[in-house]
């Protein structure tokens, strides 16, 4: 299973998660909200994702000052709501779990090389305080309205830097929000305010950068060796040794191959030379 992803809760007119429609099409549907029974789930976790993935999910805002390659976004949620899990997902189901919630989402974006990729929010704050780490800092709400925005604007430092002081203020606000959100959900209209905020996917439409690079390397090796597409794909299934190239996706290899070779091959000498130069740049 591919893990949990915070998403932009915006749905299109067909009830699909808007940010995922370009990647998943009709499979971008959240698990429907189950009947509410007054028992609520809580999600107060922080998750670190590459800023590139986070932007594709519509979660974090555009930051155009620097390449997104070296950026991590920590997504720090304070959500209450209901977790919906498919009991018996169909074989082609992509999204098998959805957290429908309301609450606050704090986004911190920083250079990946400045802080460990799995750093906690407290560590990010401490690094910002001690080493003047530049942190882009956003606050978003899910299912909250004008009264809550007024509450947040009064108490939080929206214009300030993210450091130990703002971390403490934010953590206190998150904790005090938990009780008021749970009370608010007892409103009979609560279900209308819940939004899909987190999903779990059976297969991620995103790859990490290393796996993506491995797919390119694998394909370029096939082209450089003069292999056709079918022979290149066959290399992935077994004869290169147990566990070899297990992370590559045939669909990606297919696309990389066709983009360079222009078909199913075998590659001409120009494509082979390009692939060799890709593998050994000078």
Partner 1 sequence: MSEYVGFDLAFRSLSLEAAAELRVSSIFEATGSGKGLALLFDALLRTEYAERIVLPSGFAYIKRKGTGLRVAMKMSTGNAKAATSFAGVAAQTTLGMATTNYKIEGVALSEQVIGALLDIPISGQLSEQTFRGIQVALSERLPEYLESNEIRLGEYSEPASVDLDRPGERARSINYAMSMIARRTSLTATLANLPPTISRETVLVTYARFTGSVDTGSKRRPSPTDAEAANLWLSTGSLGT
Q: Site mask, partner 1, residues 180-199, x = CB under 8 A?
A: ---------x--x--x----
Residue 25: HSE in the Cβ half-sphere, 13 Å Cα cutoff:
2
Residue 74: HSE in the Cβ half-sphere, 13 Å Cα cutoff:
23
What the block records as the tokens of 59 is 């979660």
Residue given tokens 């429609």 in the structure block? 21
Contact between 127 and partner 1 (CB under 8 A)? no
Contact between 215 and partner 1 (CB under 8 A)? yes
Contact between 210 and partner 1 (CB under 8 A)? yes
Count of residues interacting with partner 1 (CB under 8 A)? 75
C-beta closer to partner 1: residue 74 or 142: 142
What the block records as the tokens of 76 is 């720090």
What the block records as the tokens of 144 is 């909250």
Q: Among 24-32, 34-42, 107-115, 179-187, which window interacts with partner 1 (CB under 8 A)? A: 107-115
Smallest CA-to-CA distance from 281 within 211, 217, 209 is with 217
For partner 1, the binding residues in 144-173 under the rule CB under 8 A are 144-154, 156, 158-162
Q: How far is the CB of 39 from partner 1 (least distance, A)?
A: 24
C-beta closer to partner 1: residue 85 or 130: 130
Q: How far is the CB of 266 from partner 1 (least distance, A)?
A: 21
Q: Residue 15, Cβ neighbours under 10 Å: how many?
A: 11
**Residues for the chain: how many in total?**
282
């Amino acid at each position: 299973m591919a893990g949990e992803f915070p998403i932009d809760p915006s749905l299109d007119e067909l009830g699909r998660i808007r940010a995922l429609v370009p990647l998943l099409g009709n499979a971008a549907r959240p698990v429907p909200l189950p009947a509410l029974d007054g028992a609520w789930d809580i999600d107060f976790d922080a998750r670190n994702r590459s800023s590139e993935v986070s932007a594709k999910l519509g979660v974090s805002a555009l930051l155009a000052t620097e390449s997104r390659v070296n950026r991590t976004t920590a997504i720090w949620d304070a959500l209450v709501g209901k977790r919906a899990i498919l009991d018996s997902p169909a074989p082609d189901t992509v999204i098998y779990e959805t957290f429908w919630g309301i609450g606050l989402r704090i986004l911190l974006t920083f250079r990946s090389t400045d802080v460990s990729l799995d750093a906690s929010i407290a560590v990010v704050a401490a690094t910002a305080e001690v080493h003047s780490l530049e942190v882009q800092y956003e606050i978003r709400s899910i299912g909250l309205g004008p009264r809550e925005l007024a509450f947040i604007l009064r108490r939080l430092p929206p214009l300030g830097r993210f450091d130990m002081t703002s971390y403490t203020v934010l953590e206190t606000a998150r904790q005090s929000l938990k009780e008021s959100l749970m009370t608010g959900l007892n409103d009979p209209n609560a279900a209308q305010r819940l939004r899909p905020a987190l999903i779990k996917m059976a297969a991620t439409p995103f790859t990490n950068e290393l796996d993506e690079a491995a797919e390119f390397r694998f394909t370029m090796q096939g082209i450089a060796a003069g292999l056709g597409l079918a022979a290149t794909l066959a290399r992935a299934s077994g004869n290169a040794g147990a566990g070899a190239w297990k992370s590559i996706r045939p669909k990606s290899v297919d696309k990389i191959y066709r983009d360079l070779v222009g078909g199913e091959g075998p590659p001409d000498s120009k494509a082979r030379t390009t692939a060799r130069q890709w593998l050994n740049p000078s």
